[in-house]
Amino acid sequence: MTQLGPARTTAPTPSAIRAVPVRHPGRWVAAAVLLVLIAMAVDAVVFARVKRGNSLQTRFGWHVVSQFFLSHEVLHGLIVTLELTVIAMAIGIAGGVLLAVMRLAINPIVRWVAWSYIWFFRGTPVLVQLLFWFNLSYVFPQISLGIPFGPSWINLNANSLITPFIAAFVGLGLNEAAYMSEIVRAGILSVDEGQTEAASALGMNRILLMRRVVLPQAMRVIIPPTGNETISMLKTSSLASVITVTELLYSVQLIYASTYQIVPMLLVASLWYLIVTSVLSVGQFYIERYFGRGSSHAQPLTPFQKFRKSIVTVHQAMPLPGPRDAGSPLAGRKER
């Protein structure tokens, strides 16, 4: 076992190639130009001051940004935005799975209903849909539960039932379901047919094999675009400002309506959107990793693992005192 080691280390190692590298003057010029542009932009955004009234202020009004960044109204708006995103995505995902399974159903009526839903909700602007839900009481003043075309047991006033917040998450969620269904469907279709076959051969019914075999595997295809949809929903939820939901954008709008500090307040909202989308992206990375388990592809390393690996490789790159048994290709192999 140890013969291999010394034989390897005594073999003459070819000397490293020392060649004059090709010069790339173009790269240096491009980098210099970009750096100058960045410096100008940073100066304009952060440092440069302009005269407003009788005081000298930063162009973007950073003192206003810091004044309102953690204010009660803004934080409340942020929470409403997060609530809207979570609830709308929950409706979107649940509805999307349902629609996707319906589109793959055997019953043609079921397939047609799902197709029509998707056609309608993808074919009209989400802003129009939100306005529609907001004004639902105009079309259906009363909402009743009862026998179709028969007597009704419960009568509700639509105007008090459908608050702007409910109209917003219903509108955003139902619209999202149409998009999610396409994502889920692509995921389901990506799973090898042999999987369904093996599961049926073991006696699993359609629901069980969907839940236990197909959907968990479809997740690997479904998760990345769903993460993008969530990030996109966070931003789309700002449309709810139009129907007077005090989410993040409408909250800052209410503030600048009285203070006239429009740009700084928009910056406050933008910074919060940026922070939350960054956090969501990190979460997406870990969820993708989880659903990739059992795959033959190597999992991407977490930042912590990358850090550890860089330390370990530094250790290994150092010259070793002698041949190590653990490094021999035969060590640790089991006899069969």
Closest CA to 91 of 10, 194, 174, 24: 174
Single out the residue of 126, 167, 210, 213 in contact with another protein (rule: CB under 8 A).
213
Pick between residue 105 and residue 143 the one whose CB is nearest to another protein: 105
CA–CA distance, 200 with 197 (Å, rounded to integer): 5
Single out the residue of 202, 274, 279, 301 in contact with another protein (rule: CB under 8 A).
202
DSSP states of 225-260 as a string? Answer: HHHHHHHHHHHHGGGGGGGT--SHHHHHHHHHHHH-
Phi, psi of 106 (to 5 degrees): -80, -35
For position 210 contacting another protein by CB under 8 A, the verdict is no
Nearest-approach distance from CB 106 to another protein, in angstroms: 11
**What tokens were used for 21?**
């590298």
H-run or E-run covering 184 = helix 164-190
For position 104 contacting another protein by CB under 8 A, the verdict is no
For position 190 contacting another protein by CB under 8 A, the verdict is no
Single out the residue of 17, 109, 201, 282 in contact with another protein (rule: CB under 8 A).
201
CA–CA distance, 117 with 59 (Å, rounded to integer): 48
Single out the residue of 43, 192, 310, 325 in contact with another protein (rule: CB under 8 A).
192
Single out the residue of 108, 150, 203, 303 in contact with another protein (rule: CB under 8 A).
203
- Contact between 238 and 158 (Cβ < 8 Å): no
- In eight-state DSSP terms, residue 284 is H
For position 189 contacting another protein by CB under 8 A, the verdict is no
Choices 14-22, 73-81, 169-177, 196-204 (CB under 8 A): range interacting with another protein:
196-204
Site for another protein, residues 275 to 294, rule: CB under 8 A: 293-294
CA–CA distance, 201 with 204 (Å, rounded to integer): 7
Choices 25-33, 115-123, 176-184, 191-199 (CB under 8 A): range interacting with another protein:
191-199
What residues make contact with another protein under the rule CB under 8 A? 192, 194-195, 197-206, 208, 212-213, 216-217, 293-296
